Structure 1
Amino acid sequence: MTHNDKEFRCSHQQGPASYARRAVCTCLTVFLLLAGVTVLVLWLVYRPHKPRFAVAGAAIYNFNVSSSLPPQVCATMQFTIVTRNPNRRVTIYYDRLAAFVAYRNQGITPQVMLPPLVHGRRSTVAMSPVLGGGQAVPVAVEVVNGLAVDEAYGVVGLRVVLLGRLRWKTGVVKTGHYGIYVKCDVLVGLKKGVVGQVPLLGSPVGCKVDI
């Protein structure tokens, strides 16, 4: 057998296996490309938009600031919070949601757990949690001093905070849990001795939502 005959036999034996490998690689590449395009199209069609939050009203039923040691704030407040689901195809499930009020980045009410919420597509939901409940919260001295000055002036800047976990649902498919953190900065007209509804001052501003 000549050298050329050996080369021909080797190439003849290796050819089918090589073609099979190339065919498998080609099919796998096409499948991955099609899968990627499908996922991209589904994401573009169903990608969820973040919910929107805004504070529409406020009431103060109790607001006592104590400079005793340790300094404490004892407050009972109620905020009307409006949330909007802007998605046409996606429902939002809030499996856990809590709220509290902060002043100068420090909580002045304890966290209150809110009921689970199913937020339908393109719907608006209003909730009015009562925060504080008269439970005293220890705070820093600068918080007590700042609140006393602002209350004497008649304008207090507060932050309503909501935090929890949500899921998205489209059709029969639900995503995993995502953390949500909502910050609503509001200016309320508050004077000593006033109880009940208080005005929201300044232009209405939507809350900042981080997911």
Structure 2
Amino acid sequence: MASSPRNTLRALCIIITIFLLLAGLAVLIVWLIYRPHKPQFTVVGAAIYDLNTTCPPFISTSMQFTLVTRNPNRRVSIMYDKLTAYVSYRNQALTPSLALPPLYHATKSTVALSPVLGGAGVPVSVEVSNGLVMDEAYGVVALSVVLLGRLRWKAGAIKTLRYGVYVKCDVWVGLKKGFVGQVPLLGSPKCKVDI
């Protein structure tokens, strides 16, 4: 007894549907097992070696921030490419961008970064220059350490595509005019990480 084309088509549709459901279930299980979490960043130290606001509209600085980054994933490592850092004040850059070396972040590990940021004069607005002078006279300066780059997650031999990463760490430092060296952190909440 020959089967009709309608029954053959129906059986084919059932087979394709079952295959797609099983493939979707496999992808869901893999995602639940290897689901990558964002890295966590915190600023734990700051030093200011130079902050020259005497030549407006240019500011020259030399600052060093120690950032601790933690990979919370148990099965997924993180690889950072083209990571750059700079310091901003009132959403305006105070230092030129500094390219950091590529970073491999193993699972459940913590890595410290201590880039020295600064150098040549950076043009800033009059409001930023005046605000920085006033805050320095007051003794408290709100700065932001910003990291930009690309990252990939790696689980075994599987690597994801590159994703853009933006990290912004808002910190309050105690700073008096003429002081050079390690400065106290008056406030350093966890950094904001966008991927």
TM-score normalised according to structure 2 size = 0.97
Q: Where do residues 42-191 of structure 1 align in structure 2 (5 Å cutoff)?
A: 42-66=30-54, 68=56, 71-132=57-118, 134-191=119-176
Provide the alpha-carbon RMSD of the alignment. 1.2
Contact 1:66–1:144 (Cα < 8 Å) also in 2: no
Write the letter of the residue equivalent to 2:99.
M
Write the letter of the residue equivalent to 2:16.
L
Write the letter of the residue equivalent to 2:42.
A
Q: Hey, what does 1:206 align to over in structure 2?
A: 190
Q: What is the CA distance between 1:66 and its match in structure 2?
A: 3.2
Write the distance in 1 (CA, Å) between the matches of 2:59 and 2:39.
31
Write the distance in 1 (CA, Å) between the matches of 2:30 and 2:54.
56
Write the distance in 1 (CA, Å) between the matches of 2:36 and 2:97.
28
Write the distance in 1 (CA, Å) between the matches of 2:120 and 2:105.
31
Contact 1:50–1:85 (Cα < 8 Å) also in 2: yes
Write the letter of the residue equivalent to 1:114.
L
Gaps of 5+ in 1: 1-11
Write the distance in 2 (CA, Å) between the matches of 1:23 and 1:82.
57
Write the letter of the residue equivalent to 2:104.
V
Deviation per residue, 1:118-145 (Å, 9 max, x gap):
000000000100001x210000110001
Matched positions, count: 195
TM-score normalised according to structure 1 size = 0.90
Write the letter of the residue equivalent to 1:209.
V
Structure 1 outlier segments of 4+, above 3 Å: none
Q: What is the CA distance between 1:95 and its match in structure 2?
A: 1.3
Structure with the larger helix share: 1
Write the distance in 2 (CA, Å) between the matches of 1:32 and 1:96.
38
Write the letter of the residue equivalent to 1:76.
S
Write the distance in 1 (CA, Å) between the matches of 2:120 and 2:67.
22
Write the distance in 1 (CA, Å) between the matches of 2:76 and 2:120.
38
Q: What is the CA distance between 1:67 and its match in structure 2?
A: 5.0
> Percentage identity across aligned positions?
65
Write the letter of the residue equivalent to 1:181.
Y
SS, match of residue 176 in structure 1: coil
SS, match of residue 147 in structure 1: helix
Deviation per residue, 1:174-207 (Å, 9 max, x gap):
00000000000000011111111000003x4110
Structure with the larger strand share: 2
